[in-house]
Amino acid sequence: MPLALIALLISAFAIGTTEFVIMGILPDVANDLHVTLSAAGLLVTGYALGVAIGGPVITAFTGRLSRKSLLFSLMLIFIAGNLLAAVAPSYSILMAARVLASFAHGTFFGVGSIVATRLVPRDKQASAIAMMFAGLTLANILGVPIGTFVGQMWGWRSTFWVVTVLGIVSLVGIAAWVPRIKNEEVTGFRQEIRVLRSKQILLALLMTIFGFGGVFTAFTYIAPLLTDITGFGPGAVTPILLLFGIGMTLGNAAGGKLADWRLMPSIAGMLTLLTAVLAVFTLTSHYKIAAVINVLIWGFAAFTIVPAFQMRVLAKAKGSPNIASALNISSFNLANAGGAYLGGWVIDSGPGLGSLPWVAAIVTAAGLLVTLLSWSLDKREASSSGGSAQHGQSLSI
């Protein structure tokens, strides 16, 4: 395993921790800065919007920088944002710090995915992407619980100090281990933005938004689902979420290998599994043992698709992978935000909390339909290319 992949994994762990740990310390932040819990919750929204908007914009204007220099600079931005969060004297400054840190997120994962594929043979590229994204799954298993514990014991600011140190470790790893890979796609803004004209790129982004959106339609409200529907006590939620994180880690690794094997058939199969798992949770959520098993499989199915979606975008980017890769990271965040919004609407104005799993299954099924459409276009293009080649050969004869 290249040491550079370890550096990318550590960086992903740091970024994933700062993204998700805020949820565990929201009450402490609200009390200390004298804001409502809902206002503190906007720190999550602000970060997600910063990733969705900042990632593609920064990527589009940094196409001519070397990849190592860009990753190094992004980690400096990440450190600055978390350092500012640790000393923020007010809510507005903390919000600005969160948005600043988020600017590193989208571009880092977008460019980091490209760098990861350059470190390994072609038949291991999706697994390399999965290795980097494993940092996100480990952040949920280790980073968030530890960060939450630190914040509750020594104050929420101490959590951001810890994340800042993680950022510094990541910075050293990038400087020491990431090689100066030749930037094969030295591009300007106009060339990068042309990728949006590709029908297959747009379909790939929709695959991510709908395919992953179903996950967060239900998962955002996993705690009330487990307590109000399944009947668990509040204390049982954390260990069950740990199982979900273990499933994510296993699914991420399996998804990378499957994507290296056969990309589009694997994506279609993974989305079919995820749709079924979400739909079945409508029934299993009423039985404790069945619900726990379902949550574990849910975590597995949810993250098998992550490296595959990223690999699909890179495969179709054709000379301008940087902004396409960053846009896909933005799509994951839009899926998170959109899924959470839809889930809230279902609870407040729709059929209610118990219906979230099957609504989530419908959203993911829409991603499966987009996948099948994109796959059929692949086959049509391949058939057309084969026919054209055969026609050209007959003419030359």
- With tokens 């697994």, the residue in question is 127
Q: What pLDDT, on the 0 to 100 scale, is given for residue 392? A: 39
Give the CB-side neighbour count of residue 32, counting CA atoms within 13 A: 18
149 and 265 housed in the same domain: no
Q: What angle do CA 86, 89, 90 make, to 5 degrees?
A: 110
Most confident by average pLDDT, 2-16, 17-31, 343-357: 2-16
263 and 335 housed in the same domain: yes
Residue type, 80: A
The string of DSSP codes covering 84-142 is HHHH--SHHHHHHHHHHHHHHHHHHHHHHHHHHHHTS-GGGHHHHHHHHHHHHHHIIII
Indicate the residue among 184, 204, 223 that finishes a domain.
184
87 and 225 housed in the same domain: no
Q: What pLDDT, on the 0 to 100 scale, is given for residue 238? A: 78
The string of DSSP codes covering 338-379 is HHHHHHHHHHHTSS-GGGHHHHHHHHHHHHHHHHHHHHHHHH
Q: Which two tokens stand for residue 323?
A: 């902004």
Domain interval for residue 238? 187-387
- With tokens 């910075």, the residue in question is 171
Indicate the residue among 184, 208, 232 that finishes a domain.
184
Q: For residue 243, what is the domain's CATH number? A: 1.20.1250.20
Q: What pLDDT, on the 0 to 100 scale, is given for residue 55? A: 85
Q: Which is nearest to 241 in space by CA: 306, 296, 286, 204?
A: 296
Tens of pLDDT, residues 184-221? 555 555 666 677 778 899 999 999 999 999 998 898 78
306 and 198 housed in the same domain: yes
pLDDT at 393 over 70: no
- With tokens 């199982």, the residue in question is 243
Tens of pLDDT, residues 53-62? 888 888 878 8
Indicate the residue among 184, 206, 241 that finishes a domain.
184
Residue type, 183: N
191 and 335 housed in the same domain: yes
Q: Is residue 397 included in any domain, yes or no?
A: no
264 and 192 housed in the same domain: yes
334 and 382 housed in the same domain: yes
195 and 285 housed in the same domain: yes
Distance between CA atoms of residues 20 and 78, nearest Å:
15
pLDDT at 356 over 90: yes
33 and 97 housed in the same domain: yes
In which region does residue 2 sit, left (phi positive, over 0), alpha (psi from -120 to 50) or beta (all else)? beta
| C-alpha torsion sign, points 257, 117, 313, 113 | positive
Give the CB-side neighbour count of residue 193, counting CA atoms within 13 A: 7
SS (H, E, C) 309-331: HHHHHHHHHCCCHHHHHHHHHHH
Radius of gyration of the chain (CA): 21
Q: Is 97 or 198 the better-scoring residue by pLDDT?
A: 97
Q: Which two tokens stand for residue 339?
A: 């899924």
DSSP annotation of 355: G
For the chain, the residue count is 397
User: Considering only 9-18, 76-85, 131-140, 181-190, which range has the smallest mean pLDDT?
Assistant: 181-190
Q: Is residue 392 included in any domain, yes or no?
A: no
- With tokens 């990527």, the residue in question is 59
Tens of pLDDT, residues 33-50? 998 876 887 887 788 888
Distance between CA atoms of residues 186 and 203, nearest Å:
25
Q: What pLDDT, on the 0 to 100 scale, is given for residue 192? A: 64
Average pLDDT score, the chain: 87
Q: Which residues contact 373 (CB under 8 A, 6 or more apart)?
A: 203
Q: What pLDDT, on the 0 to 100 scale, is given for residue 38? A: 67
Q: Mean pLDDT across the stretch 158-177?
A: 96
173 and 193 housed in the same domain: no
Q: Is residue 238 included in any domain, yes or no?
A: yes
User: Considering only 110-119, 329-338, 385-394, which range has the smallest mean pLDDT?
Assistant: 385-394
Main-chain phi, psi angles of 34, to 5 degrees: 60, 50
Q: Which residues contact 299 (CB under 8 A, 6 or more apart)?
A: 243, 244, 245, 246, 247, 248, 251
Q: Is residue 349 included in any domain, yes or no?
A: yes
Total count of domains within the chain:
2
Give the CB-side neighbour count of residue 209, counting CA atoms within 13 A: 15
Distance between CA atoms of residues 323 and 338, nearest Å:
21
Q: Is residue 241 included in any domain, yes or no?
A: yes
Distance between CA atoms of residues 115 and 31, nearest Å:
42
Q: Is residue 394 included in any domain, yes or no?
A: no
Q: Which is nearest to 249 in space by CA: 107, 138, 132?
A: 138
Q: Which is nearest to 81 in space by CA: 72, 94, 68?
A: 94
C-alpha torsion 221→226→232→235, nearest 10:
-40
Q: Which residues contact 201 (CB under 8 A, 6 or more apart)?
A: 195, 313, 316, 317, 324, 327
Q: Is residue 314 included in any domain, yes or no?
A: yes
Q: Is residue 308 included in any domain, yes or no?
A: yes
197 and 344 housed in the same domain: yes
128 and 261 housed in the same domain: no
